[in-house]
Structure 1
Amino acid sequence: MQLFDAHCHLQDERLGTLQDVVQEAASKGVQQLACNGCWAGDDWARVAAAAAEHPAAIVPNFGLHPWWLAQRSPGWLQQLREMLVAYPRAGLGECGLDRGPRGPAVEWAVQLEAFEQQLQLAQELLRPVSIHCVKAYGAVNDVLRRLNITVPVVLHSWTGAVEMTTTLLQLPNVHVSLSGHITKLAPHKAVPMIRAVPLERLLLESDSPDGLLQLSPAWLAELPSLRSLPQQLADAGLLEVNRPCVLPWTLQLVAAALCKPAEEVAGATYANAQRVFRTSGSSGMT
């Protein structure tokens, strides 16, 4: 099976050596990875360097994450444009809105303006966009509709309610990307949401080095076929720092929730990600 990690942060020093991480991922079938930068300067530069080192495997993405808005420079938007023009394969991300307790210490109007500016840039340059959304589901929906965004949209590490998921999926360019963050939800909320996503709109991601899969007793009771996963994750060293090699276990969870064969879900999500990130001509890990 081939897998595509639709959102990760390979430039994060917690992951260790890039070559080791990419090779380990490939050994688990993870052939391609969308690596997201979150702030101008060294972060974007490290993403670009990673993509240059593994051009067939890594798709670069550049964006201004809401957590780093306070550190933005006056010329950040022009810098972002220049990065995207310099890297024609790149997507825009990670950008978004955050009203959660870890959200940025900036005014909501500042978040909203930066988000809208990035969406408009993605639309202008025809780039896919990866969206961070925490407790701002209605606002993201409103902005996408008001700006008439038609480029592919990735709702990264999505944990929204069924109703909002269904509403956003009315937009034909929206895709739902699932990571270990889904296990933060109670399974009686998460499983119906997963089942509300058409297979042709579904993506899988690690969000590494974050996004750990943490299966509570409630999850194991809901999906008994996953009972061996906690030990498997422990054996793989995936209890503290997440890595892209986690994707086969994320696949198992999502396939179990959908009551579908893992091979079917893997094939669909890989094809979906290749379409979103425009990598269908790429052969994967190098």
Structure 2
Amino acid sequence: MSAAYFVDAHCHLTDQRVALFASEWIENALANQVEKMMIGGLDPADWARQAELQKKYPQQVLTSFGLHPWWVEKFSPAEIENSMQVLARVVQYASAVGETGLDFHPNRNSNHYSTQESLFRRHLTLALEHQKPVVLHLVRSHSRALEIVKEMKAESLQFLLHSFSGSKEVAREWIKRGAILSFGGGLLKEGSSARLKEVLALTPLSQLVFETDAPDQAWRADGNNEPCFVREIYTKAAEVLNIPLIDLMQIVAENFAIFG
């Protein structure tokens, strides 16, 4: 077994909302045994900030570079193309490709769905070329994403499903393909926790990790969220799985080792 420590498998330490106190968050995390934190990639400016933060915390901060599906609605076609060209140059330095995927939530502009799919394919191509794990952002799009993965012959890639909130049936489909499911604060939220606990219970221990998605997806009443709070998610998960917390810490650390 590996050493016992907590991992925040997905957070946004380089989000402009928290840039001024990212170091404070990291120090808080380290003081609470959260020794690894992987940042979800958003756009070229974010990738650059990630690289700078990792220089300061080379053992604690892991990077993922990708063009987030939401950014499709913000960028012009020329900006998207330029961003993808930058990604092709820098992705070799990241621990993972992402976050990438498909977001078909009704509040997203459906006119951009085809562009999302095209960019998802390009991210998968880069991941295959560089043999990098892929961090997936999927909302109401699991079936289509699975189809694209199959079409791209990308089943060999290691996928991490960020903030998994799908059904048991969807979970089983990804588990069959060896994907890692990342569970977040939904395990502690009224309304979503019961369903997620059922999904967690059927997930092989070798295919799960936990995340805060900080500063988003807060579950605390005060609305705050930062990487050190991932301990609360682990604690709840250990209760659901009926295993000692220290064992779960070691298991997740081993699962996360594929990222570095």
TM over 0.5: yes
Partner of 1:24: 28
**Deviations 1:18-51, CA, capped at 9 Å, x for gaps:** 22111100111110111122112x2221111111
Identity of aligned residues (%): 26
- Tell me the CA shift for residue 75 of structure 1: 2.3
How many residues matched?
Answer: 250
Partner of 2:183: 178
1:161 corresponds to 2:167:
yes
- What amino acid does structure 1 have at the position aligned with 2:42? C
Measured in 2, the distance between the counterparts of 1:106 and 1:90 equals 31
- What amino acid does structure 2 have at the position aligned with 1:19? S
Of 138, 141, 149, 1:144 maps to 149
- What amino acid does structure 1 have at the position aligned with 2:131? L
1:39 corresponds to 2:22:
no
Measured in 2, the distance between the counterparts of 1:102 and 1:250 equals 28
Would the aligned equivalents of 1:34 and 1:58 in 2 still touch at CA under 8 Å?
yes
What value does the CA root-mean-square deviation take over the aligned residues? 1.7
Q: Does the C-alpha gap of structure 1 residues 168 and 64 become closer, same or farther in structure 2, counting only changes over 3 Å?
A: same
TM-score (norm. length: structure 2): 0.90
Of 49, 53, 58, 1:50 maps to 53
- What amino acid does structure 2 have at the position aligned with 1:3? F
Partner of 1:209: 215
TM-score (norm. length: structure 1): 0.82
- Tell me the CA shift for residue 186 of structure 1: 3.2
Would the aligned equivalents of 1:66 and 1:103 in 2 still touch at CA under 8 Å?
no
Would the aligned equivalents of 2:186 and 2:192 in 1 still touch at CA under 8 Å?
no
Of 66, 70, 87, 2:69 maps to 66
Measured in 1, the distance between the counterparts of 2:244 and 2:206 equals 15
- Tell me the CA shift for residue 104 of structure 1: 4.6
Would the aligned equivalents of 2:160 and 2:182 in 1 still touch at CA under 8 Å?
yes
Partner of 2:197: 191
1:133 corresponds to 2:160:
no
Measured in 1, the distance between the counterparts of 2:87 and 2:174 equals 26
Q: Does the C-alpha gap of structure 1 residues 104 and 96 become closer, same or farther in structure 2, counting only changes over 3 Å?
A: farther
- What amino acid does structure 1 have at the position aligned with 2:167? A
Partner of 2:113: 108
Would the aligned equivalents of 2:186 and 2:193 in 1 still touch at CA under 8 Å?
no
Measured in 1, the distance between the counterparts of 2:194 and 2:81 equals 45
- Tell me the CA shift for residue 184 of structure 1: 6.2
Partner of 1:219: none
Would the aligned equivalents of 2:238 and 2:244 in 1 still touch at CA under 8 Å?
yes
Would the aligned equivalents of 2:101 and 2:138 in 1 still touch at CA under 8 Å?
yes
Q: Which portions of structure 1, spanning 4 or more consecutive aligned residues, are displaced by more than 4 angstroms?
A: none
- Tell me the CA shift for residue 103 of structure 1: 2.7
Partner of 1:99: 104
